[in-house]
Amino acid sequence: MSRVFMWMTAGLGVTAATAVFTASTPAVFSAAMTWSLPLILLQLGLVLVLSGLAPRLSAAVAGALFLVYSALTGLTLSWIFYRYHLGSVATAFAISGGTFGALSLYGTVTKKDLSAWGTFLFMGLVGILIAGVVNIFVRSEAISFVSSCAGVLVFAGLTAYDTQKLRQYHAAMGASGAVRGALVLYLDFLNLFLSILRLMGRRR
């Protein structure tokens, strides 16, 4: 599991550094926003490759793709520094880190089988996605608030659930499998952070 958390931490570091650099460089930020759709599609493609083909990839290739994905995420998320005050971003990140750490620890040490959570968490995730699509058109603050609250609960639950699942299979994980596991926890953390930021963030 140490390799999983090492890669996850590296990915978050790359994302944070890229987001800060992009937000502080107007020309890069403008290009990132102009090309946001192609960048998002490229991100989705990399997630599919890492999720489906990671066991067949060498550790070096899987790691490189994960870091590229992390950098692309930093580009596409750089807008948060324009929408929210820096203090709000830092506070949301700290709360997310504490929450993630506590629930990941719970998933590691608990004797309780969390596999039964899977169906409910998946249903919650689908509900959040549907609400997000609907809100693109209706732009409802109420829907945004409810989906953000649901996001905190779902991704907090997924943190414990995924950590336990990865712990159970870590002995059979190769180096590329560790990168795939890092991607799973990276996405849990990132979505938890964004949900908390939407709830607590002070907008400019």
Find, among 6, 43, 46, 15, the residue nearest to 175 by Cα.
Answer: 6
Q: Spell out the per-residue pLDDT of the chain, length 204, in tens.
A: 778 899 999 999 999 999 999 999 999 999 999 999 999 999 999 998 888 776 777 888 888 999 999 999 999 999 999 999 999 999 999 999 999 999 999 999 998 989 889 899 999 999 999 998 898 888 888 888 999 999 999 999 999 999 998 888 765 566 667 888 899 999 999 999 999 999 988 887
Q: Which long-range contacts (CB under 8 A, 24 or more apart) does 113-116 make?
A: 114/160, 114/161, 114/164, 114/165, 115/161, 115/165
pTM over 0.85: yes
Question: Token pair of 151, please?
Answer: 């996001």
Residue with tokens 């502080």: 24
Residues 6+ apart with CB under 8 A from 161: 107, 114, 115, 117, 118, 121
Domain edges within the chain: 2-200
